[in-house]
């Protein structure tokens, strides 16, 4: 069994299909799915720093996520980055 599947089983999600049916609770300060923390606003500075490090040489970024929009907002504020999608 792949490690990701094993971890999902350990926290109560027996399948991807079941996980996708769980209730998402989005607030300004956090995103929880089935009471599990997915993203929190305190992670903003960390995500901004990761964006600046990953983009220090410029280029293009395709950010795919389902969190609170922290990473895409960080990428948008970096001048030498060209997004794939606007």
**Tokens standing for residue 16:** 């991807």
Residue 23: DSSP 8-state: P
Residue extents of the structural domains in the chain: 3-83
CA atoms of 21 and 60, how far apart (whole Å): 33
Low-confidence stretches of the chain (pLDDT beneath 70) = 1, 14, 83-86
Q: Where does 3-83 sit in CATH, by number?
A: 3.40.50.150
Instruction: Tell me what pLDDT residue 86 has.
Output: 52
Does the predicted TM-score (pTM) go above 0.85? no
């Amino acid at each position: 069994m792949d490690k990701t599947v094993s971890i999902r089983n350990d926290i109560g999600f027996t399948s991807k299909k079941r996980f996708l049916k769980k209730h998402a609770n989005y607030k300004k300060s956090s995103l929880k799915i089935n009471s599990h923390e997915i993203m929190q606003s305190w992670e903003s500075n960390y995500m901004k720093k990761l964006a600046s490090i990953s983009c220090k040489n410029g280029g293009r970024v395709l950010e795919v996520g389902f969190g609170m929009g922290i990473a895409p907002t960080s990428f948008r504020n970096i001048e030498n980055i060209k997004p794939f999608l606007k």
